[in-house]
Structure 1
Amino acid sequence: MARKAAIIGGGVIGGGWAARFLLNGWDVSVFDPDPEAERKIAEVLANARASLPALSDIPMPAEGSLSFAKDIAKAVEGAEYVQESVSERLDLKHRVFAEIQKASRGVPIGSSTSGFKPSELQEGAADPSSIFVAHPFNPVYLLPLVEIVPSSKSGEQCIGNAKEVLREIGMFPLHIRKEIDAHIADRFLEAVWREALWLVKDGIATTEEIDEAIRMGFGLRWGQMGLFETYRVAGGEAGMKHFMAQFGPALKWPWTKLTDVPDFTEELVDLIAGQSDAQSGNYTIRELERIRDSNLIGFLRALKERNWGAGRVLREHDERRRVAFHDEGRTGEGAPLVMAQMQVLPGWIDYNGHMTESRYLFATSETSDAFLRLIGADLDYVAGGHSYYTAETHIMHLGEARLGDRLTGTLQVLYADEKRMHVFIRILRGEEAVASVEQILLHVDMKAGKTCPAAPEVLGRLLPVAEAHKSLPRPDAAGRHVGQRK
């Protein structure tokens, strides 16, 4: 039976939370009095379905069920975790917490607040120990960071349980030891935001020029190394002490207006909004969200390949789900395994506007590589001197994939023994197969340069899948030779 999470408040952040839980197999109940809540969450969920699976290298769990409750009591009924994401009004949050705790005592209640301290949230609560800050970052369904901020009244076990829940849905709970207004990350953002407002107000830079300075320069460094590690490198071989000695005096220079705030006038709002419209107004918000998500996927996958930064969180989440996949005895009974989610990008198409031939093989490789990681024949296994080599491939082009198409790679094991693997891969656009690929892979001792039995732990994962797939219909295209008539 699926576990249940309750989401109170279904805006951009609440919708992101709902998507994160749903796509990780949880049932989700949402309460939001906004009559447009269902439509808004459906749009966020559509973006999440198109992007989150692309970060995973093993099958996603079956999606949970989404329901909309008429009141808070119904939403939290049976919930193991509650996330509050209502407007940033303390009185409103207090009323919401009171209704939650009237209906369900002891359940962890995380607040998405970006500014309030947990002690402020807990004021007047029936059970303050179960209320804490769980502040995420947009898009919640892709970015792993969630700031966990308890107070002295927070229950240690409650916080521990909440952090474990968040890890299970692929997030990185950063436990902040002392409560402070705006927590950690938003204090940095606020500092940058204030300085940016001054630069625009004083006519030094436009909104677009400021954004270019971030995304063409330090933003790329921060995304993988953060602040202090970036400056450690800047210090050269002498490290952080040299950097501090070299740049410390600059702290006394009048380089910043961080202690001052520009007057928040209608003229300033119009100036910022006008420049922003000129910069990005040719895109809808939903288009910008999809562009953002696609870029984040590429960046996060690059970090994942290197097991660095946020990419390490993705790897660890995959490994937890890989263990659970096998511990639960899931071997793909009843259907081929869904192993890869992809999108046809501009560099994938040829002069005809169709996906080029090499990318069909790339999609196949993404699918088979994901299966190899699933059974434990991953990069660490290769580093130990063993790998599966593709000995033979037969591809059939069945349809045309075009720019922007979403593709799914599925894999069916036709046969496997200690040295060989015979697989059949389908590249699907929706329900339609645009290609099928039949492969023979051989397990190889790389140093000796010849086949050898796979490791017991690999066979322990591979052979049950092969056994389960024996009951599947053999694909009509399996065993065909090139040019064979239908």
Structure 2
Amino acid sequence: MTDIRKVTVVGGGVIGGGWVARFLQNGIDVDVYDPDPEAERKLGGLLDNARRAFARLIEGPKPAPGRLRFRASLEEALAGADFVQESAPERLDLKQRLFAQIDALAPPHVLVASSTSGLLPTELQAPMAHPERLLVAHPFNPVYLVPLVELVGGQKTALQAVERARAFYASLGMKPIVIAKEIDAFVGDRLLEALWREALWLVKDGIATVEEIDDVIRYSFGLRWAQMGLFQVYRIAGGEAGMRHFMAQFGPCLQWPWTKLTDVPELTDELVDTIAEQSDAQARGLSIRELERIRDDNLVSIMRSLARSQKGAGWGAGELLNAYEARLRGGEGDTKAEPLRLHRASVSPDWIDYNGHMTEFRYLQVLGDATDAVLFKLGLDKDYVAGGHSFYTVESHIRHLGQAREGDVLAVETQVLAADAKRLKLFHTISNETTGTVVATGEHLLLHVDAASGRAAPAGEAMAARLEALARDHGALAVPAAAGRRVGEPV
């Protein structure tokens, strides 16, 4: 984690609001300056959706949210700031005036990042007395979920500033990519612009509607791009011969007059009306906030699925999500004489059965994830498993004591009942975080095993010491009354 604890966000629109949500959900205090009198109201709905999405995305412990304050002036907002994120409208003159003001008000060590989607940082930093601290940090919407941020330095940007920003954004669960050279629109938007130009021609020429074009993307290469990007997808398309074969086979096609990428259709009133009307029809009456929630739910599902791929190691955005959750778990549950509080879960719509309650196997999923959090705390990670050892669950006893419904946040407390070099016995209590009602308990016996033989084996010295220390610490706690119960035993 970095030493940045308070961020000033200048501009609270869609992108600025996304940054506010990303910072708050990582426990960072945020002061917002936006002259729009409706800014606080508009941001409220976005933050509601962001909180909902983050609760579903991160299944383990989460930081306490940061504090949000709206400020009437730029000077008030900058007081005590460790970092500035500018997200004002895309006008060079406006941004230059803002950066000159920020430069005069904020101490020289405070980094200043612009969310611009295409303006060059060298032009943005021109009026600043301390241009070495300014860089572009271009995110993608929704900022609170999509992890990529493009970092671009200007001619006078210090390399140290870029590295500090890279470390900061990485600590937020993002994927910072440092762009090697300044270029208009950077990398992501240049790729999007190429597709967007071609799509506008297809609509203008009456070849496809906006919904049909979106369907082509989301039912085909969009699925591949989500987890492998462009070049790796084409590498696979080359078969066993790989990329060289693909380039040899399809390279000549680039000379064919298929596309109109060098030409842009005029955005006449007729074309704008056509696109707007088709887009309205495509939305089928759903509001922007409703569409945001659908988009967010889908993004969460994709990233969580990627996190569970490759035998739990994750792939692409899923691998990044696993690393982020591991960092969030790292500092939890260190109080010795208290149960561990390592896992929280939000009940999502796909967890609900025909009765409107959380379906039975999801209880086991929550308990299993809580067990995994304990094992991670003990040091069972990819390297440990690669070394040939792991833990296997050999017995489980679940008591269903209450109902969980969509939107509930479930918190798990874990007590170690016993542990030695071969055995670990855990007792989990799942509670509704809002009401405190106990929803379920789970008692589990795990064995430390040699993965090659699949048989119980003593843990190594370091792991055995951690097991025994945790059992010793929890020995001071009262044994739960339900521990050791058999199935069907009277309450």
**Could you say which residue in structure 2 is the equivalent of 1:302?**
305
Q: From the superposition, tell whether residues 473 and 235 of structure 1 become closer, same or farther in structure 2 (CA, over 3 Å).
A: same
Deviates more, 1:299-308 or 1:11-20: 299-308
- Distance (Å, rounded) in 1 between the aligned partners of 2:477 and 2:94: 54
**Could you say which residue in structure 2 is the equivalent of 1:478?**
483
Deviates more, 1:472-481 or 1:288-297: 472-481
- Distance (Å, rounded) in 2 between the aligned partners of 1:360 and 1:242: 49
- Distance (Å, rounded) in 1 between the aligned partners of 2:131 and 2:408: 46
TM-score, scaled to structure 1: 0.91
Counterpart check, 1:148 vs 2:151: yes
**Could you say which residue in structure 1 is the equivalent of 2:419?**
417
**Could you say which residue in structure 1 is the equivalent of 2:272?**
269
Return structure 1 stretches of 4+ with deviation > 6 angstroms. none
Question: Which residue, 109, 112, 118 being the options, matches 1:115?
Answer: 118
- Distance (Å, rounded) in 2 between the aligned partners of 1:15 and 1:470: 47
Counterpart check, 1:373 vs 2:380: no
Question: Which residue, 324, 327, 332 being the options, matches 1:317?
Answer: 324
Question: Which residue, 428, 441, 447 being the options, matches 1:442?
Answer: 447
Deviation at 1:448, TM superposition (A): 4.7
**Letter of the aligned partner of 2:360 in structure 1?**
E
**Could you say which residue in structure 1 is the equivalent of 2:32?**
30
8 A contact 1:30–1:75 mirrored in 2: yes
Sequence identity percentage: 53
CA displacement, residues 7-59 of structure 1 (integer Å, 9 cap, x when unaligned): 11111211211121222222222212223323333333332322235444642
SS in 1 for 2:219: helix
8 A contact 1:129–1:154 mirrored in 2: yes
**Could you say which residue in structure 1 is the equivalent of 2:177?**
174
**Could you say which residue in structure 2 is the equivalent of 1:20?**
22
CA displacement, residues 167-191 of structure 1 (integer Å, 9 cap, x when unaligned): 1111111111111111100011111
Deviation at 1:472, TM superposition (A): 5.8
- Distance (Å, rounded) in 1 between the aligned partners of 2:372 and 2:269: 55
Deviates more, 1:123-132 or 1:445-454: 445-454
Q: From the superposition, tell whether residues 53 and 345 of structure 1 become closer, same or farther in structure 2 (CA, over 3 Å).
A: closer
CA displacement, residues 93-121 of structure 1 (integer Å, 9 cap, x when unaligned): 11221221222132111100001010111
8 A contact 1:58–1:371 mirrored in 2: no
SS in 1 for 2:220: helix
Counterpart check, 1:224 vs 2:231: no
**Could you say which residue in structure 1 is the equivalent of 2:41?**
39
- Distance (Å, rounded) in 2 between the aligned partners of 1:14 and 1:195: 29
**Could you say which residue in structure 1 is the equivalent of 2:291?**
288
8 A contact 1:145–1:174 mirrored in 2: yes
**Could you say which residue in structure 2 is the equivalent of 1:95?**
97
Deviation at 1:449, TM superposition (A): 4.5
- Distance (Å, rounded) in 2 between the aligned partners of 1:31 and 1:235: 51
Alignment of 1:312-351 (within 5 A): 312-323=319-330, 325=331, 330-331=334-335, 336-346=340-350, 348-351=351-354
SS in 2 for 1:254: coil
Deviation at 1:321, TM superposition (A): 4.3
Deviation at 1:242, TM superposition (A): 1.6
Q: From the superposition, tell whether residues 410 and 259 of structure 1 become closer, same or farther in structure 2 (CA, over 3 Å).
A: same
Q: From the superposition, tell whether residues 237 and 435 of structure 1 become closer, same or farther in structure 2 (CA, over 3 Å).
A: same
**Could you say which residue in structure 2 is the equivalent of 1:80?**
82
CA displacement, residues 210-265 of structure 1 (integer Å, 9 cap, x when unaligned): 11110111111111111111111111122222211211221121111111111112
- Distance (Å, rounded) in 2 between the aligned partners of 1:460 and 1:271: 69
**Could you say which residue in structure 1 is the equivalent of 2:128?**
125
- Distance (Å, rounded) in 2 between the aligned partners of 1:415 and 1:320: 26
- Distance (Å, rounded) in 1 between the aligned partners of 2:197 and 2:251: 22
- Distance (Å, rounded) in 2 between the aligned partners of 1:160 and 1:363: 37
Deviation at 1:483, TM superposition (A): 3.5
Deviation at 1:426, TM superposition (A): 3.0
Counterpart check, 1:194 vs 2:197: yes
Deviation at 1:304, TM superposition (A): 2.3
Deviates more, 1:369-378 or 1:129-138: 369-378
**Letter of the aligned partner of 1:436 in structure 2?**
T
**Could you say which residue in structure 1 is the equivalent of 2:281?**
278
- Distance (Å, rounded) in 2 between the aligned partners of 1:123 and 1:28: 27
Deviation at 1:61, TM superposition (A): 2.3
Superposition RMSD on alpha carbons, in Å? Answer: 2.5
**Letter of the aligned partner of 2:297 in structure 1?**
S
- Distance (Å, rounded) in 2 between the aligned partners of 1:463 and 1:30: 48
SS in 2 for 1:159: helix
Q: Which runs of 5+ in 2 are unaligned?
A: none
8 A contact 1:387–1:445 mirrored in 2: yes
Q: From the superposition, tell whether residues 100 and 384 of structure 1 become closer, same or farther in structure 2 (CA, over 3 Å).
A: same
Counterpart check, 1:138 vs 2:132: no
8 A contact 1:413–1:465 mirrored in 2: no
Counterpart check, 1:235 vs 2:238: yes
Deviation at 1:354, TM superposition (A): 2.8
CA displacement, residues 260-294 of structure 1 (integer Å, 9 cap, x when unaligned): 11111221111111111111132221221111112
8 A contact 2:59–2:346 mirrored in 1: no
**Could you say which residue in structure 2 is the equivalent of 1:392?**
395
Deviates more, 1:446-455 or 1:41-50: 446-455
8 A contact 1:367–1:409 mirrored in 2: no
Counterpart check, 1:64 vs 2:66: yes
Deviation at 1:199, TM superposition (A): 0.8
Q: From the superposition, tell whether residues 80 and 473 of structure 1 become closer, same or farther in structure 2 (CA, over 3 Å).
A: farther
- Distance (Å, rounded) in 2 between the aligned partners of 1:382 and 1:120: 51
SS in 2 for 1:239: helix
8 A contact 2:416–2:470 mirrored in 1: no
8 A contact 1:58–1:374 mirrored in 2: no
- Distance (Å, rounded) in 2 between the aligned partners of 1:412 and 1:483: 23
TM-score, scaled to structure 2: 0.90
- Distance (Å, rounded) in 2 between the aligned partners of 1:122 and 1:283: 41
**Could you say which residue in structure 2 is the equivalent of 1:48?**
50
8 A contact 1:108–1:159 mirrored in 2: no
Counterpart check, 1:433 vs 2:438: yes
- Distance (Å, rounded) in 2 between the aligned partners of 1:484 and 1:130: 67
- Distance (Å, rounded) in 2 between the aligned partners of 1:5 and 1:442: 46
**Letter of the aligned partner of 1:375 in structure 2?**
L
